[in-house]
């Protein structure tokens, strides 16, 4: 978590670039923000404010914000409460250096103690301040230049970091380094940009270098980008061209990114399928599955590792792969998998699902599975992020940058890729009858249009939200492919509206949750016309018998459930295995509108961050 931005050049003022960059990275954390600038007189100023980037801007209104060199940070607190004191950048004791940091220095307490014994005084409770003080201590004690001091210091720290440093005595240079936390350098004409991802950079240049773990970038005016290792070996930076349209990371007339991203889903899923589904031949090709065909068809087992919403997509993937390909699939929380010495080996394929491609637990699970000899397949959104780079192969979901903290289009993108994966693998293994395969492919292509139809219920869902905003608890029920949808609906609601919500397999209700039901309890039930319809209908009767209030997602034209439910949202018919792609959408809208009615900060809910780079 935390967002990092940097700029060094001669032609432009740094402050506006840094602030705009921070706004784009605010999804990574937003409990405080700060900026360090070197002005024309070589003075280094640090300004910080508790709260969002807008609070920092207001704070800086009467400050000297001139200068064409600077670094800036938006924070998601780990060590030390959210406050302006703990906000980054942090000065070194002499105030010659300023640092910003994303990650955690695990052995900070031990280093801090040693430095304090040497008379170093600390102002904040953060692990980051320890790092800048250590660098300065090494620099002055051993009379080293900044780069060497950084290398020596980073050898001593345990943990994860993306850092950027300014030294006011060398205002023509910014130094940045990374281990486990992402960092991208943008290369302009006589200027450099820095970002936790490419979004603060793309407005100015499309040439970027994704720093590798253990690399240090030296951005010096008048020189080419220099990249070295911690051991000071010179490395050749690989310059890539990024292809992100600025419109993709702006709100485009919607009041919130979340709503924009919900409405983008038809287009996103078309992009996700483009070049992969051949509509004339009703066939799917994933290049990763062609290149690594034998690994994948010979897999004895598939293990899916992910967190949060991506884990829910994994649960749908499991049902799809098991049904179509007859390979056993386990779905694991990455955070559990990595710490329990799992049984995994060379006959296993591990699929890591992650929107950001940076989730620390998922990345660690990938590394562990790799060590144990498994073949690793990534399903990610952020191009060039850490997880895709750590995998053997994979498929990008191509839904464009997701800015709203609550994941929406990434979920449907992940489910779409998992569907294409299962179909391609099933075809290669010969485990799915051809007519069945064709039927699913044909229907998958229709899904974007069906989602468009579902989006027309937006106003109806907004009305429903007004009716149910009073609730303190919600239950979400579904069976089969709809069970993960119930989990996802509940997660969406709790994360943005702070209403407690639980997702359950509908039949499990009788084994405990039914005790919660009374006339105050809204229960969202996915009750479409599929194999489980009759059973789910009985579950609804059980809820009504206890005065629960039922919001049912039903198939278009349903007349039975509609009579007993308090409210219904109609969904277009589709195949059962593809229902999650349409049924999730009204649940995203419901959570969105309830949060709006409650006046919550939809795009940046409290305590959350988009990219969870701490474990």
CB of 491 to ligand F6R, least distance (A): 6
Site track for ligand F6R across 307-336, x = CB under 6 A = xxxx--------------------------
DSSP sequence for 33-48: EEEEEE-TT--EEEEE
**Which residue stretches of 456-501 are H helix?**
458-468, 482-497
Could you say whether residue 355 binds ligand F6R (CB under 6 A)?
Answer: yes
Q: Which stretch binds ligand F6R (CB under 6 A): 242-250, 353-361, 510-518, 562-570?
A: 353-361
d(CA 43, CA 60): 16
Query: Do the beta carbons of residue 579 and residue 587 sit within 8 Å?
Result: no
Of the residues 2, 268, 325, 577, only one is catalytic, namely: 2
CB of 150 to ligand F6R, least distance (A): 29
Q: Which is nearer to ligand F6R, 4 or 97 (CB)?
A: 4
Which residue of the chain is nearest ligand F6R when measured via CB?
308
Backbone angles phi, psi at 498, to 5 degrees: 65, 25
Q: Up-side HSE of residue 198: CA atoms within 13 Å toward CB? A: 27
Question: Which of residues 495, 558, 570, 603 is near ligand F6R by CB under 6 A?
Answer: 495
Secondary structure of the chain: what % helix, strand, coil (to 5)? 40, 25, 35
CB of 466 to ligand F6R, least distance (A): 23
Q: Which is nearer to ligand F6R, 90 or 398 (CB)?
A: 398
Query: Do the beta carbons of residue 512 and residue 465 sit within 8 Å?
Result: no
β pairing state of 375-380 and 348-354: parallel
Q: How far is CA 219 from the centre of its chain?
A: 28
- Which of 496, 462, 475, 500 is closest to 550 using CA atoms? 475
Residues near 368 by Cβ (< 8 Å), separated by ≥ 6? 337, 338, 342, 344
CB of 306 to ligand F6R, least distance (A): 6
Q: Which is nearer to ligand F6R, 359 or 530 (CB)?
A: 359
Catalytic residue status for 610: yes
Of the residues 179, 260, 494, 610, only one is catalytic, namely: 610
Q: How many residues bind ligand F6R (CB under 6 A)?
A: 14
β pairing state of 192-195 and 184-187: antiparallel
Hey, what are 214's tokens? Answer: 């253990």
Q: Which stretch binds ligand F6R (CB under 6 A): 282-290, 355-363, 519-527, 528-536?
A: 355-363
Q: Which stretch binds ligand F6R (CB under 6 A): 96-104, 117-125, 153-161, 348-356?
A: 348-356
- CA 500, 505, 508: angle at the middle one, nearest 5? 95
Question: Which of residues 406, 485, 506, 527 is near ligand F6R by CB under 6 A?
Answer: 406
Could you say whether residue 102 binds ligand F6R (CB under 6 A)?
Answer: no
Could you say whether residue 32 binds ligand F6R (CB under 6 A)?
Answer: no
Ranges within 125-154 binding ligand F6R (CB under 6 A) = none
Q: Which stretch binds ligand F6R (CB under 6 A): 301-309, 418-426, 538-546, 557-565?
A: 301-309
Question: Which of residues 465, 499, 612, 614 is near ligand F6R by CB under 6 A?
Answer: 612
Sheet holding 44-50, edge to edge: 44-50, 32-38, 69-75, 3-8, 192-195, 184-187, 207-210, 240-241
Q: Which is nearer to ligand F6R, 171 or 478 (CB)?
A: 478
Q: Which is nearer to ligand F6R, 193 or 411 (CB)?
A: 411
Ranges within 358-397 binding ligand F6R (CB under 6 A) = 359, 362
Question: Which of residues 86, 102, 356, 588 is near ligand F6R by CB under 6 A?
Answer: 356
Hey, what are 142's tokens? Answer: 């051993």
Active site positions, annotated: 2, 610
Contact residues: ligand F6R, CB under 6 A: 307-310, 354-356, 359, 362, 406-407, 491, 495, 612
């Amino acid at each position: 978590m935390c967002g990092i931005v940097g700029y060094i050049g001669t032609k432009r003022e740094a402050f506006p670039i840094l602030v705009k960059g921070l706004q784009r990275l605010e999804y990574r954390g937003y409990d405080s923000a700060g900026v360090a600038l070197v002005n024309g007189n070589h003075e280094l100023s640090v300004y910080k404010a508790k709260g969002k980037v807008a609070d920092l801007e207001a704070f800086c209104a009467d400050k000297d914000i001139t200068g064409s060199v600077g670094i800036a940070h938006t924070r998601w607190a780990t060590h030390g409460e959210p406050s302006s004191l703990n906000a980054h950048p942090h000065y070194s004791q002499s105030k010659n250096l300023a640092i910003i940091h994303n990650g955690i220095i695990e052995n900070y307490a031990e280093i801090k103690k040693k430095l304090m014994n040497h008379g170093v005084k600390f102002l904040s409770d953060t692990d980051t301040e320890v790092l800048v003080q250590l660098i300065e201590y090494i620099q002055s004690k051993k009379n080293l230049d900044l780069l060497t001091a950084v290398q020596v210091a980073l050898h001593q720290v345990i943990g994860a970091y993306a850092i950027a440093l300014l030294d006011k005595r060398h205002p023509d240079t910014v130094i940045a380094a990374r281990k486990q936390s992402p960092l991208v350098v943008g290369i302009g004409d006589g200027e450099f940009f820095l970002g936790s991802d490419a979004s603060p950079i793309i407005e100015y240049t499309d040439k970027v270098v994704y720093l590798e773990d253990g690399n240090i970038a030296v951005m010096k005016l008048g020189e080419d980008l220099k990249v070295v290792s911690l051991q000071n070996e010179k490395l050749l930076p690989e310059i890539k061209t990024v292809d992100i349209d600025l419109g993709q990371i702006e709100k485009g007339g919607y009041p919130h990114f979340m709503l924009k991203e919900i409405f983008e889903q038809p287009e996103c899923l078309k992009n996700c399928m483009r070049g992969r589904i051949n509509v004339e031949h009703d066939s799917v090709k994933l290049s990763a599955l062609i290149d690594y065909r034998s690994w994948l068809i010979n897999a004895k087992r598939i293990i899916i590792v992910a967190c949060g919403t991506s884990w829910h997509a994994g649960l749908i993937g499991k049902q799809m792969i098991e049904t179509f390909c007859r390979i056993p699939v386990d779905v694991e929380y990455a955070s559990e998998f990595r710490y329990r010495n799992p049984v995994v080996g060379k006959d296993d394929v591990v699929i890591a699902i992650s929107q950001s491609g940076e989730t620390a637990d998922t990345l660690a699970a990938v590394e562990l599975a790799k060590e144990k000899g498994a073949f690793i397949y990534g399903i990610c959104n952020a191009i060039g992020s850490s997880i895709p780079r750590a995998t053997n192969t994979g498929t990008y979901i191509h839904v464009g940058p997701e800015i709203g903290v609550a994941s929406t289009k990434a979920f449907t993108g992940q489910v779409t890729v998992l569907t294409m994966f299962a179909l391609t693998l099933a075809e290669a293994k010969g485990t799915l009858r051809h007519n069945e395969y064709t039927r699913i492919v044909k229907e998958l292509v229709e899904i974007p249009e069906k989602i468009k139809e579902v989006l027309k219920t937006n106003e109806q869902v907004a009305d429903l939200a007004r009716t149910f905003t009073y609730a303190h608890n919600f239950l979400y029920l579904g069976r089969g492919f709809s069970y993960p949808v119930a989990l996802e609906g509940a997660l969406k609601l709790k994360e943005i509206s702070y209403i407690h919500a639980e997702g359950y397999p509908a039949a499990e209700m009788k084994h405990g949750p039914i005790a919660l039901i009374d006339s105050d309890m809204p229960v969202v039930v996915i009750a479409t016309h599929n194999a489980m319809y009759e059973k789910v209908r009985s579950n609804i009767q059980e809820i009504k018998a206890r005065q629960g209030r039922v919001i049912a997602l039903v198939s278009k034209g349903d007349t039975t459930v509609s009579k007993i439910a308090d409210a219904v949202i109609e969904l277009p018919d589709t195949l059962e295995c593809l229902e999650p792609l349409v049924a999730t959408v009204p649940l995203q809208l419901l959570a969105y509108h309830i949060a709006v009615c409650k006046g919550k900060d939809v795009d940046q809910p409290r305590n959350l961050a988009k990219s969870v780079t701490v474990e």
